[in-house]
């Protein structure tokens, strides 16, 4: 069974760079990654972007912007 992952970002240069690096690293046979601009990030427990949520576990990546600052 594939893990489900959602990559949240704000479209800033830090987020876009992290998106490209992350998608290059992830094994698509094991993990299905959906890329989302903010969306339901806060409800998923995301405190800053870019962030990756894998099977409900939040992984914050290279601080780009706090969710509160983007609201």
CA distance 27 to 40: 24
CA distance 39 to 65: 15
The reported pLDDT for the residue numbered 64 is 80
pTM of full prediction above 0.95: no
The reported pLDDT for the residue numbered 54 is 92
The reported pLDDT for the residue numbered 33 is 93
The reported pLDDT for the residue numbered 43 is 85
Query: Alpha-carbon torsion 28, 34, 38, 41, what sign?
Result: negative
Check: CB of residue 67 under 8 Å from CB of residue 40: no
Model pLDDT for residues 23-55, shown as the tens digit of each residue: 999 999 999 999 988 877 888 899 998 999 998
CATH code for residues 3-70: 3.40.30.10
47 CA to centre of own chain: 11
């Amino acid at each position: 069974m594939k893990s489900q992952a959602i990559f949240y970002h704000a479209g800033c240069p830090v987020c876009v760079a992290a998106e490209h690096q992350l998608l290059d690293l992830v094994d698509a046979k094991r993990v299905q990654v959906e890329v989302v601009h903010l969306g339901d990030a806060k409800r998923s427990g995301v405190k800053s972007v870019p962030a990756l949520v894998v099977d409900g576990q939040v992984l914050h990546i290279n601080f780009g912007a706090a969710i509160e600052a983007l609201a």
